[in-house]
Amino acid sequence: MSRKFSPAISTGSLRERAYSYIQRGVACGELLPDTAISEVAISKHLKMSRTPVREAIGQLVAEGLLEQTPNRGTVVVRLKRQDVIELYELREALEVYVVRKAAHMTLRAADLERWEQFSNEILSLRDELRRLTQTTLSREQMRKFIAADLSFHNMLMHMSVNARILKVLNDTRLLIRIFGMEQPGYDEAKLKQIHNQHAAIIAAVTSHDSERAAQLLTRHIRTSLEERLQAYDVWERELSFQKSLPAFI
């Protein structure tokens, strides 16, 4: 005899599946900013009714990942300059709190080893650049970098043992990455700089120097913000230039 599930559980499970599908599409760059989200296409692809897809879209709109537009319906959000600043301010406030907390803890050897491994993956990408005689990371290599960098910061969040902070930070970083997907590939010097920053943060945390850990992480996050704003300004100037061209060009 087949097991029956209540409609509420079934609908919730389908909604979560649709939610994860759309979120992953944005996170990996398949759904770029301003991309229209088709409720019909997603429901057909996932082989489910439109109701859970509609609910998932509504949740993502509420979380700021998608937005409703008058002419195109629901689209992936396009961050404005002030949005980037505010998201980084939120990220700094939460991550600096967490790194202070971690510096007062005694980390498990296995956690510390994984944390260092995530940091060292960035050095592996630098070595890959050298081996392939590339000047900068390709788009696919940048995805690997983003994954390694995200894992480094997520490991810090997990060690803080605060699931609510982790959820807010993950949502914040996902929004930041919507614009970050358009950033140019890093070169060897930049990868080495980021690895050095990560290594210094690990050293401060393991030596229980909470003030130094907070200072290093603050500098690390603010440097990243400056890069995002510079990239945003370049993108905005290019967009403005394209709009100023005559229609026949």
**pLDDT, greater one: 196 or 182:** 196
Which pair of structure tokens corresponds to residue 134? 């590339």
Q: What is the mean pLDDT of residues 126-146?
A: 91
Contacts of 146 (CB under 8 A, 6+ apart): 177, 180
Backbone angles phi, psi at 106, to 5 degrees: -100, 110
Identify whether the C-beta of residue 222 lies closer than 8 Å to the C-beta of residue 197.
no
Identify whether the C-beta of residue 39 lies closer than 8 Å to the C-beta of residue 53.
yes
For residues 71 and 100, membership in a common domain is answered with no
Q: How confident is the model at residue 82 (pLDDT cuts 50, 70, 90)?
A: very high
**What 3-state DSSP class applies to 79?**
coil
| CB neighbours of residue 40 within 10 Å | 9
For residues 136 and 188, membership in a common domain is answered with yes
**pLDDT, greater one: 1 or 102:** 102
Question: Which pLDDT score is estimated for 12?
Answer: 64
Q: Residue 148: which of 181, 180, 120, 111 has the closest Cα? A: 120
Question: Which pLDDT score is estimated for 241?
Answer: 66
Residue 249 falls inside a structural domain: no
Judge whether residue 107 has pLDDT over 80: yes
For residues 28 and 123, membership in a common domain is answered with no
Identify whether the C-beta of residue 204 lies closer than 8 Å to the C-beta of residue 218.
no
For residues 185 and 139, membership in a common domain is answered with yes
Judge whether residue 42 has pLDDT over 50: yes
Identify whether the C-beta of residue 106 lies closer than 8 Å to the C-beta of residue 207.
no
Q: How confident is the model at residue 122 (pLDDT cuts 50, 70, 90)?
A: very high
Q: What is the dihedral of CA 141, 147, 151, 152, to 10 degrees?
A: 40
Judge whether residue 179 has pLDDT over 80: no
For residues 170 and 116, membership in a common domain is answered with yes
Contacts of 37 (CB under 8 A, 6+ apart): 22, 31, 57, 66, 73, 74, 75, 76
Cα 144 to the center of its chain, rounded Å: 12
Judge whether residue 48 has pLDDT over 50: yes
Q: State the average pLDDT for the chain.
A: 86
For residues 70 and 57, membership in a common domain is answered with yes
For residues 92 and 169, membership in a common domain is answered with yes
For residues 96 and 65, membership in a common domain is answered with no
Residue 1 falls inside a structural domain: no
For residues 126 and 50, membership in a common domain is answered with no
Judge whether residue 172 has pLDDT over 90: no
Which pair of structure tokens corresponds to residue 235? 């993108």
> pTM for the full model?
0.77
For residues 170 and 233, membership in a common domain is answered with yes
Judge whether residue 8 has pLDDT over 80: no
User: Which range marks the domain in which residue 139 is found?
Assistant: 81-244
Residue 2 falls inside a structural domain: no
Look-up: residue for tokens 């130094």? 212
Q: What is the mean pLDDT of residues 175-191?
A: 78
Residue 3 falls inside a structural domain: no
The total number of structural domains in the chain stands at: 2
The mean-pLDDT minimum among 3-17, 121-135, 202-216 falls in 3-17
Residue 185 falls inside a structural domain: yes
Q: Which of 29, 52, 76 is the last residue of a domain?
A: 76
Look-up: residue for tokens 């003030």? 211
Question: Which pLDDT score is estimated for 136?
Answer: 95
CA distance 181 to 235: 12
Q: Which of 23, 49, 76 is the last residue of a domain?
A: 76
For residues 95 and 172, membership in a common domain is answered with yes
Residue 224 falls inside a structural domain: yes
**pLDDT, greater one: 12 or 170:** 170
The CATH code of the domain that includes 32 is 1.10.10.10
The mean-pLDDT minimum among 33-47, 84-98, 115-129, 179-193 falls in 179-193
The CATH code of the domain that includes 165 is 1.20.120.530
Q: Which of 76, 91, 107 is the last residue of a domain?
A: 76
Question: Which pLDDT score is estimated for 11?
Answer: 55
Question: Which pLDDT score is estimated for 4?
Answer: 41
For residues 45 and 32, membership in a common domain is answered with yes
